[in-house]
Amino acid sequence: MKVTKSEFIISAVSPSQYPEDALPEIALAGRSNVGKSSLINRMINRKNLARTSSTPGKTQQLNYYRINDQLYFVDFPGYGYAKVSKTQRALFGKMMEQYLLERKELKLVMQMIDMRHAPTKDDIMMYDWLKHHGLPVCIVTTKMDKIPKTKRVKHAKIIKEALQIHPDDSFVSFSSEEGLGRDELWSVISRYAFSKDPFGEEEELDEVEEGQETSTHEA
Ligand SMILES: Nc1nc2c(ncn2[C@@H]2O[C@H](COP(=O)(O)OP(=O)(O)OP(=O)(O)O)[C@@H](O)[C@H]2O)c(=O)[nH]1
Ligand SMILES: [Mg+2]
């Protein structure tokens, strides 16, 4: 997807502030500091539209970014950050939960995991929760540039196994620093945002193949 326009829309603190134009929404979830804001900037090739920070836990609202007037990225507060007070954490949790369970425009959750480490308990809990509620997930492993090329496959395998990734879910390894995985991630996002049935294409392909086989047999 060629990004020609990207705008920050709102830091929403309550559902009444969510946009009303019914565009598809792609949520970004992951631990603080995993690289969510950096990923948004890389996807839209802007240096600093989504604010990145060396202070973890800074993003405390749902930050909406509109891309090409076609879809939204919704940047979530990072989970697993100890310095946020318990009350605050419960509050973010509730808002996120409500969003994830009730937001009709939500098409895909990109759950981001630091590729340098095995998934944490929080990562596994989050993924299990998303799957329990039947939400489509793309696992995005971040900071791939920090891992030597020869070890990337191994790291990806460890993460997939620890999460017991569902066969329908996509998996993309990414580096905001170097732009690795950007095209692949855009194609996953487009599939979920714009096709009525993200798995439909594959089903159709199967049918065509079967049809071709039959006609070969008959010939
Ligand atoms: N080398 C490398 N560093 C990265 C990458 N992505 C993010 N970082 C760095 O990791 C730090 C955190 O990145 P952010 O994008 O702010 O992380 P975040 O998930 O938005 O953090 P919160 O908003 O606090 O939840 C920054 O110092 C980034 O420069 C990457 O792909 N490669
Ligand atoms: Mg952020």
Residues of the chain with pLDDT > 90, as a percent, come to 64
Q: What is the CATH number of the domain that holds 68?
A: 3.40.50.300
Question: Does the residue 1 lie in any domain?
Answer: no
The string of pLDDT tens digits covering residues 66-125 is: 999 999 999 988 876 655 666 666 666 778 888 999 999 999 999 999 999 999 998 999
Sign of the alpha-carbon torsion through 201, 204, 208, 210: positive
Count of the separate structural domains present in the chain:
1
List, in sequence order, the alpha helices (H) in 25-85: 36-43
- Give the separation between CA 23 and CA 192, rounded to whole angstroms: 12
Check residue 212 and give its pLDDT: 45
Read off the tokens for 183.
């095209």
The whole-angstrom separation of Cα 53 and Cα 37 is 9
Report residues near ion ligand 2: CB below 5 Å: 36-37, 59
**Confidence label for 181 from pLDDT (cuts 50, 70 and 90):** very high
Here the tokens at position 82 are: 């100890």
Q: Please state, in angstroms and as integers, the Cα–Cα distance from residue 201 to each residue in 107, 136, 137, 205, following that order.
A: 17, 16, 18, 6
Q: Which residues line ligand 1 (CB under 6 A)?
A: 30, 32-38, 52-54, 56-59, 78, 142-143, 145-146, 175-177
Structural domain that includes position 60: 6-218
CA of 97 to the centre of ligand 1 (A): 24
The pair of three-digit structure tokens given for residue 155, joined into one six-digit string? 């790291």
More confident residue, 35 or 51: 35
By the 8 A CB rule, do 130 and 137 touch? yes
Whether the pLDDT of residue 213 is over 50: the answer is no
- pTM comes to 0.86
Dihedrals φ, ψ of 92, to 5°?
A: -60, -40
Rounded Cα distance, 77 and 53, in Å: 12
